[in-house]
Structure formats: C-alpha cells, structure tokens
Amino acid sequence: MYENGYNLEPKWKEECGVYGVYSHTEDVSGMTYLGLYALQHRGQESAGIAITDGAWMDVTRGMGLVNEVFRHQVPHMENQCIAIGHVRYSTTGSSLLANTQPLMVNYAGGKIALAHNGNLTNAAEIRHDLEQQGTIFQTSIDSEVFVNLIARSRQETIEDKVIESLKKIKGAYCLTIMTESKLIGARDPQGFRPLCIGKTEEGSYIISSETCGLDVVGAEFIRDVLPGEMVVIDEDGIKSYPFATEEPKASCIFEYIYFARPDSVIDGQSVHDARFMMGRMLARESGCQGDIVISVPDSGTTAATGVAFESGIPFVEGLIKNRYIGRTFIQPTQKKRDTAVKLKLNAIRSVVEGKRVIMVDDSIVRGTTSGKIVKMLRNAGAKEVHMLISSPPIGYPCYYGIDTSVRKELIAATKSVEEIREYIGADTLHFLSIEGLKQSVSAVDPEAMCYACFNSAYPIEDGEKPAGDSKYVFEQRKC
C-alpha cells in the first residue's frame, strides 16, 4: 500500500471477523459499524458493510480500518432491516479491493450477500469443478466459491440451498449470509472459529464472531452457534438447522491464546480466564524465580497477571508500548538497526535495572523480536531475563484460517527449546505444555479442541492441505 512503508503488522494473522444484524426497529447498519469496531482485532486490512431494506441491497467496502473505510459516513438506507459486516486480514496481492467482503451477487433467486471467516480446505477442488462447468471467478476468496454453490443448488428454499452447499465444503469457517429477507449464520462442523448470537432489548438479533461484538451494542448473549449448525433469522424469529453436528469438535485453541479479545466468551469459556489460567499454569510448570513479572504488551499481559498471581511475584510495567504507530511507518533514509521494535516498545530502566526479570509473552514466531526485547531489557540494566511463553512451541502450519505464510520462518519448526533460548539470549525459557494448556480451558472440553499447530494432529483427515501459502493458491494456479 505504501511503497516505502515499513510494515508493523501483528504477529499472527487470522482471516476475518463477521457480523450481522436483523431488526425492524433499530439502526442495523449503525450497529454493524459498531460491531466491526469491536471485531477490528480480527482483521485490519479491509472492512465492509452490506445492507438491505427488503428489496434493494447495497454494499460498501474498502481497504483499511473501520474508521478509515467509513471515515465520512456510515452506510444507510431507508427502512433498512438487515445488515452484515466483515473485517479481514490478508497480505498484499493482486486485486486487493476486489477481494474485500461482504461479497454481493445476483443469482436466480435474487440478491445475496455473504461474509466469511476462515479457510476452506477443499476450495481448490470445488473451484476446479465449478470452472469445468463454466463458472467464472472474479476474486480469489472462498466466499465466491460458496456463493456459486448456493446459486447452482437445485434446492427450492434458500435454507436448503445453503445447507446443501455447507455439506459440500470442508474446513474452518463462520459465515453470515443476507438475502432480502433473511439473516443466516453458519459455523463449521468442527467449530474451529467462534460465532455467537445476541439479542437487544428491542428484540433485534445479532450474529457476531465474538461476544465483545454484542456488548458494544448493548445486546444480551443468547448462545453460541453450535458447530455444524446453521441459524436463520427472519420475521418468524430464529430457527436452527443442524447440518453436521455429529463430527468431532476441534475448536481452535489459538483463539484463547492470542486471537480473541480477553473480554469475549467462546463456547462458555472466558478468554480472559483461559489466558489468566495459562499464566498460572506456566508459573507452576516453570517454578519461576525472579524479582518482577513483566509482560510484552498487549498480548502477553493477561497471562503475565496470571503468572504474578500464582507466583506471588509483583506484576509491574517494564515495557512501554507506543500507541500511535499505525500499521506502517516510513523508514527514514539512514536505516537504524531495530528501529521498528524501538518505535513500538521501550524498556523502563528504573523498573528493570538490577532486577531478575520474568518476561511473559503469548507465543514466539521467528524469535527475532523476542531477541531484541531481551537485549533491550539487558541494556536497561536487567540482571537476568527469564522468558515465559503461555503456549507450547508452534512447529506446524495451520490450514484452518491462520496465516502460515511465515511457516518456514517459525523458529520452533527447526530449533529445540534450548536452541531458541540461546537464539533470543534469555537466561531461561519456558513454554507452557499442551497438558497445561488443556487445564487452562476447563470450562470447555479440552479434548474437543485443535492443537495441530503444536502437535500436527490435524482434525480434518483428508489430507487436503494446501501446498504452500494457501491464500494464493487460486491466484498462483495459472498466473
């Protein structure tokens, strides 16, 4: 986007956040706009809102944050009654704008809009089949595959068309779909990605990737959409259509470790509590000794407070994060080593000087940033730096919606814990065990979760793992 810009992106990237509102009395597009603000942490590359008044349908999409895309006005329509929204991550590529969501199309049954979070593992295969039958594709997103399945379905009702389509796809996904009269939500059979339902005092229904999207509009949490369930909201209220409920569950553990907002609750498990408990388990497992507990802000903070709670060692702020950086900055001409890290984080000398510092982070990607932070702490006078990571080492790619484009660079894929410790220069290094992780999510069934990025036990067994960077599989095919 910015040719000379230096990228300051988050360490892990998930695909998206989805949202939907059905209401005949409240401002559906305004609520969707607020909901997308609450889900912004799930995707910062593009945003979009589609609305309908029961007859006309329109969509507004753009590159950037919600407050950039909707800088001058929030989409609105007289008598609007349904809206869906989308925020998304993705890296650079061709046709960026064309790939934004929600996707809106005409088909024989009318107009339909769709927002999608996740990754289909058999998209390439379906796409190939559809192309052989004469279908064209204008984008490289899975949503277009899905909407073609709906359009080609011979089923009579939109409900049956969607269910037939859902049965054909595999992978991790949550969908919000909008027709002129219905709001539909669906969650994949394994329940990889979260999706929940809320209701306002006035009776408006909300579908949201996370419960924090309900809170921001003052809606009550009703329940999670179940794995393998489709829900349809229209003037008759809400109906449930289980389409694949018998499959083993495999919710993504990384939603609890990093992706979801701490104030969200997924499948009955508070994200904050899970993260806090990971810190406590980590303290127990590591038997950490030190003078102070600090976190790598912001993602390491909840676990750090758990470490402090369990160990009795005080939690203090040792690293200050600059809140005004934005996603890119222009690298000045004369390059300074480590500028990006220094710009984001600074150590507080008076806090760490002469101290045995226990530093808590949620995960390690390449180890380079961790190494720079350790060095920054030592330069600020830290006597010892003990690093605690509130997740196991990540050694395997994810095929269910997390960007694994950096896989080859994953330090835990090729190095032992001791080698990583040496690489980042910490005095000690502890990762939380998978067992400890399981004990941290006691409100749900820990066995009904996906730990594949730690142990390669992929819950979808058909081996349809995209070869490389899955996002580009369609773009790369011929070009």
Catalytic residues: 16
- Whose Cβ is closer to a second copy: residue 67's or residue 245's? 67
The amino acid sitting at 103 is L
Apex 477 CA angle, 473 and 479, nearest 5: 115
Q: Is 362 one of the annotated binding-site residues?
A: yes
Cβ pair 63, 1 in contact under 8 A: yes
- Whose Cβ is closer to a second copy: residue 168's or residue 342's? 342
Instruction: Using alpha carbons, list the distances in angstroms from residue 88 to 13, 55, 117, 128, 352.
Output: 9, 27, 8, 25, 38
The amino acid sitting at 381 is G
Residue written as tokens 């979260």?
Answer: 194
Q: How far is the CB of 82 from a second copy (least distance, A)?
A: 13
Q: In this structure, what token pair is assigned to residue 332?
A: 């000045």
Q: Is 363 one of the annotated binding-site residues?
A: no
- Whose Cβ is closer to a second copy: residue 144's or residue 229's? 144
In this structure, the number of other CB atoms found within 10 A of the CB of residue 218 comes to 12
Q: How far is the CB of 385 from a second copy (least distance, A)?
A: 17
Q: What are phi and psi of 253, to 5 degrees?
A: -65, -25
Q: How far is the CB of 237 from a second copy (least distance, A)?
A: 22
The amino acid sitting at 330 is I
Distance (Å, whole) CA 324 – CA 296: 17
- Whose Cβ is closer to a second copy: residue 40's or residue 122's? 40
Q: Is 196 one of the annotated binding-site residues?
A: no
- Kind of pairing between the strands at 205-208 and 16-22: antiparallel
Q: How far is the CB of 415 from a second copy (least distance, A)?
A: 29
- Kind of pairing between the strands at 384-389 and 428-431: parallel
Distance (Å, whole) CA 221 – CA 211: 7
Q: How far is the CB of 398 from a second copy (least distance, A)?
A: 24
Selection from 323, 337, 326, 331 nearest residue 5 by Cα: 331
Q: Is 90 one of the annotated binding-site residues?
A: no
* Segment (H or E) for 435: helix 434-440
Selection from 159, 116, 137, 158 nearest residue 19 by Cα: 116
Cβ pair 166, 189 in contact under 8 A: no
- Whose Cβ is closer to a second copy: residue 38's or residue 177's? 38
Q: Is 94 one of the annotated binding-site residues?
A: no
Q: How far is the CB of 199 from a second copy (least distance, A)?
A: 15
- Whose Cβ is closer to a second copy: residue 180's or residue 403's? 180
For the four alpha carbons of 241, 184, 237 and 159, in that order, the dihedral sign comes to negative
Q: How far is the CB of 419 from a second copy (least distance, A)?
A: 29
Cβ pair 118, 188 in contact under 8 A: yes
- Kind of pairing between the strands at 46-52 and 57-63: antiparallel
In this structure, the number of other CB atoms found within 10 A of the CB of residue 421 comes to 19
In this structure, the number of other CB atoms found within 10 A of the CB of residue 322 comes to 11
Q: Is 291 one of the annotated binding-site residues?
A: no
- Whose Cβ is closer to a second copy: residue 94's or residue 416's? 94
Binding residue ranges: 252, 299, 361-362, 398, 450, 453
Binding residue ranges for Mg(2+): 299, 361-362
Binding residue ranges for [4Fe-4S] cluster: 252, 398, 450, 453
